A and B are shown apart, each in its own frame.
Chain A
């Protein structure tokens, strides 16, 4: 008798486990990446080799930046802990191969969204976390105050394997100027060569110029020209073919932006559960079942906001307060004159 009860309970327990497993992980079953991430217990995130404000490691190896925060948000949503991220620094050349060959699960490395990258090489861009454009940095005493002042023979230092190389050619060709491209694999070498006087100008995304300028020996002797020669929407990338994972990353980013829009911050997120606004309640998981559709629990978005903060907090912490780009420019909410506009979470 006692034996039978014991056996029965174990069978019931087994069914219970099986049942909860099946209901909870319908989406997880579809997503291999999600399943693997939960099994490993950390999110594998590809970042830059050091770009202040976007992804940069301090002396203790702690990564910070707006790109880093995207991965932290995903970790908070999926694993419940924003610190459970393994960062892999990648050069521009390595980044896509690392993603397609399954070394990382998110590439959040100031990567420009273009048609050929999105469609051709097994990648999917999930959104934009920074609107950027290519610019030029020159020495202040050169007397160059506009891109129209460049003359034939100008040498331009830049990074290898980026859209920058293509934009630069388009730009100088349209002006009919013969130029000398000097391309390095790592950003630090670009900075060193430009600093030494090898090049007359340093060209890359304007945010990158602002961030790298700090590394020059005399930052005040250099300035970024006002013109922007290209559109560079930067955003996180995932592998093609895992739409659940793609959705999780997309909506983790969107949650941060929407939280700013509704004034939900890391400090007041818990209080917002009792808000009068249904949109806010949905955002903090007090209403609706939005998490289930992603294969997550309903607190996923609340954790993102509490642990990482909203987009505005992330921007202020990483880019504005560090003096890189105090002015948000296009990266301001659409309600405040910027172009940050995300679909509603409902």
Chain B
């Protein structure tokens, strides 16, 4: 490296970045450091990955079960969806959702409001934002509710083991989740008002919205493409998992008087999950890594902000690429550690 006149060092991370980013979860502008720019990119990557994983799982499970349906139409539709989306390269799908969807979306001034307060436009999805007073108390009340639910569950399990009496855990949990935060509003001085986006004129022909929250179209199309693509693979995992449970298990469960819901919940799913989880973990990892294709459509993820702009402005290719690689490695390992833990938790406990 010395031969080529390249210096090495991580000191640049504390320098002022002097470039802006269009969408950030934390406060950031060009006067912050390169390290903060890195955090901005990292959080954006995590955001799109989490959104992608959640939607991919929901769509994947629904489609996977639909593929097992006895209804010919439902089964065929699901099969066509799976074959279509998993056989087209992801980058093309991202371009499709970005440019095709972008052109189909209305300009801000022509957008039809949804429920009067949501505006889906070419410049982004503008939604109302909450303006909170004493947000911390509200969060404490949520945490308290969750802790209470954990205790209720432990108590219910004990009661069932000792006395054989089932407790309606679900309705108690939902009740707690509603009542405690509600109390924080009534007694804790928590107050939330809604800020609705308002149209603003920028010039004779161009408009935008002000106030509220703005989701950039890049985020929406990237999340859409990632979840639709990954959902096809998850659907196949789910189908394989359910089909992997032998028919005799279901018949045996039914014969001891369990309801169809209980058969699914107590007999089929616990066994199917053991087959579903490991390949699904792979898909979660793929989705997280695939999110780096964001650079193609201007979503400011880690690759675009840090391995893109920051690399260009500093010229520190080796340092930045090494940090980026380590970051993806850490993200992937974190996901697989969590999934392995979950896999172990549901695995057969041999005695």
A positions within 8 Å CB-CB of B: 92-93, 96-97, 100, 116-117, 120-123, 138-139, 141-144, 149-151, 153-155, 157, 160-162, 165-166, 168-170, 173, 179-186, 189, 192-193, 196-198, 200, 239-241
- Contact A155 to B295, CB < 8 A, known contacts A93-B311, A198-B217, A239-B4: no
Chain B residues whose C-beta falls within 8 Å of the C-beta of A239 in the assembled complex: 4-5
Q: Is the CB of A153 within 8 A of B19?
A: no
Chain A residues whose C-beta falls within 8 Å of the C-beta of B202 in the assembled complex: 150-151, 153-154, 200
Q: Is the CB of A181 within 8 A of B20?
A: yes
Bound complex: CA A143 to CA B99 (Å): 26
Chain A residues whose C-beta falls within 8 Å of the C-beta of B21 in the assembled complex: 181
Q: Which of B3-53 contact A (CB under 8 A)?
A: 3-7, 18-22, 30
CB-contact partner of A183 in B18, B122, B309, under 8 A: B309
Q: Is the CB of A143 within 8 A of B203?
A: yes
User: Taking CB as reference atom, which chain B residue is nearest A140?
Assistant: B205
Q: Is the CB of A155 within 8 A of B208?
A: yes
- Contact A153 to B203, CB < 8 A, known contacts A160-B304, A161-B312, A193-B102: no
- Contact A142 to B203, CB < 8 A, known contacts A97-B317, A161-B311, A183-B309: yes
Least CB distance from B18 to A in Å reads: 6
CB-contact partner of A169 in B20, B210, B295, B312, under 8 A: B20
CB-contact partner of B304 in A122, A141, A162, A185, under 8 A: A185
Bound complex: CA A29 to CA B300 (Å): 47
Q: Which of B290-325 contact A (CB under 8 A)?
A: 295-298, 300, 304, 308-309, 311-315, 317
Chain B residues whose C-beta falls within 8 Å of the C-beta of A189 in the assembled complex: 296-298
User: Taking CB as reference atom, which chain A residue is nearest B310?
Assistant: A161
**13 contacting pairs across A/B (C-beta < 8 A):** A120-B314, A122-B6, A139-B206, A141-B205, A143-B205, A144-B204, A157-B298, A162-B312, A183-B298, A185-B308, A193-B99, A200-B202, A241-B3
User: Taking CB as reference atom, which chain B residue is nearest A190?
Assistant: B298
Bound complex: CA A338 to CA B200 (Å): 43
- Contact A193 to B20, CB < 8 A, known contacts A153-B208, A154-B202, A161-B309: no
Bound complex: CA A139 to CA B207 (Å): 13
Q: Is B103 an interface residue (CB 8 A)?
A: yes
Bound complex: CA A141 to CA B107 (Å): 15
CB-contact partner of B123 in A116, A184, A198, under 8 A: A198
Chain B residues whose C-beta falls within 8 Å of the C-beta of A193 in the assembled complex: 99, 102, 298
- Contact A200 to B99, CB < 8 A, known contacts A161-B308, A161-B309, A161-B312: no
User: Which of B22, B30, B202 has the most chain A CB atoms inside 10 A of its CB?
Assistant: B202
Bound complex: CA A123 to CA B205 (Å): 44
How many pairs, one residue from A and one from B, have CB atoms within 8 Å of each other in the complex? 133
CB-contact partner of A121 in B6, B19, B296, under 8 A: B6
CB-contact partner of B298 in A100, A120, A182, under 8 A: A182
Chain B residues whose C-beta falls within 8 Å of the C-beta of A170 in the assembled complex: 18
Q: Is the CB of A149 within 8 A of B203?
A: yes
CB-contact partner of B19 in A143, A154, A166, A186, under 8 A: A166
- Contact A184 to B298, CB < 8 A, known contacts A165-B309, A169-B19, A239-B4: yes
Least CB distance from A147 to B in Å reads: 12
Bound complex: CA A185 to CA B102 (Å): 18
Chain A residues whose C-beta falls within 8 Å of the C-beta of B3 in the assembled complex: 241
Q: Which of B193-221 contact A (CB under 8 A)?
A: 200-206, 208, 210, 216-218
Bound complex: CA A150 to CA B208 (Å): 13
- Contact A196 to B102, CB < 8 A, known contacts A142-B203, A153-B210, A241-B4: yes
Least CB distance from A281 to B in Å reads: 38
A sample of 8 more A-B contacts (CB under 8 A), given A100-B317, A193-B102, A200-B202, is A121-B5, A142-B204, A143-B203, A168-B20, A184-B297, A196-B122, A200-B206, A241-B5
- Contact A122 to B19, CB < 8 A, known contacts A97-B317, A153-B202, A155-B208: no
Chain A residues whose C-beta falls within 8 Å of the C-beta of B20 in the assembled complex: 165, 168-169, 179, 181
Least CB distance from B222 to A in Å reads: 13
User: Taking CB as reference atom, which chain B residue is nearest A117?
Assistant: B315
Q: Is the CB of B315 within 8 A of A96?
A: yes
User: Taking CB as reference atom, which chain A residue is nearest B317?
Assistant: A97
CB-contact partner of B296 in A154, A185, A241, under 8 A: A185
Chain B residues whose C-beta falls within 8 Å of the C-beta of A181 in the assembled complex: 19-22
Least CB distance from A177 to B in Å reads: 10
Bound complex: CA A129 to CA B59 (Å): 55
When A and B form their complex, which 3 residue pairs have the shortest distance between CB atoms, in order from nearest? A161-B312, A121-B315, A143-B204
- Contact A161 to B103, CB < 8 A, known contacts A149-B203, A181-B21: no
Bound complex: CA A192 to CA B193 (Å): 39
User: Taking CB as reference atom, which chain B residue is nearest A240?
Assistant: B5
Bound complex: CA A97 to CA B316 (Å): 9
User: Taking CB as reference atom, which chain B residue is nearest A139?
Assistant: B205
Chain A residues whose C-beta falls within 8 Å of the C-beta of B6 in the assembled complex: 100, 121-122
Bound complex: CA A116 to CA B304 (Å): 21
Q: Is the CB of B315 within 8 A of A196?
A: no
User: Which of B4, B18, B210 has the most chain A CB atoms inside 10 A of its CB?
Assistant: B4
Bound complex: CA A240 to CA B6 (Å): 9
Bound complex: CA A299 to CA B321 (Å): 45
